[in-house]
Amino acid sequence: MLEIGMVAPDFSLPDQDGKTVALHDFKGKKVVLYFYPKDDTAGCTKQACGFAELYPQFQEKDAVVIGISKDSVASHKKFQEKYNLPFTLLSDEDKAIIQQYDVWKEKSMYGRKYMGIERSTYLIDENGVIARAFGKVRPGDNPKKMLKELPQA
């Protein structure tokens, strides 16, 4: 995980509509940046729908929610439409930003080791500085926990 207090690495990635979105576009707002393994899987859907359900409350606190995975723009579009997700999903197919944010980790399932995204969430303040960092987050709890981490607007 990246350190609290460091400037969050900037990025420019395509969103679910193919439009380029950069972190610096959100200067002056709080950003909940979450990294997740795969569109339309049980845990990732639970997490995304949790953020969607609480999205108006994130907006009240002047925060934006951004999800990043290595899925394609087309996959993100299907995921967004299927669950009516009101926030931005970014595609990092070459894993450059995923690696820059130190969430590409060795994982293990049924004794088999493989590389994948460790479900992680960063809270980035209005000046682009990492205010909070959470690794190995639980998909069902993460949206509520991140809402509590946000100061009132």
Q: How far apart are CA 48 and CA 42, in angstroms?
A: 10
3-state SS, residue 72: coil
Catalytic residue among 8, 33, 44, 98: 44
Query: What dihedral angle (degrees, nearest 10) is formed by the CA atoms of 9, 64, 54, 40?
Result: -60
Q: How far apart are CA 42 and CA 35, in angstroms?
A: 15
- Identify whether 44 is a catalytic site residue: yes
- Which active-site residues does the annotation give? 44
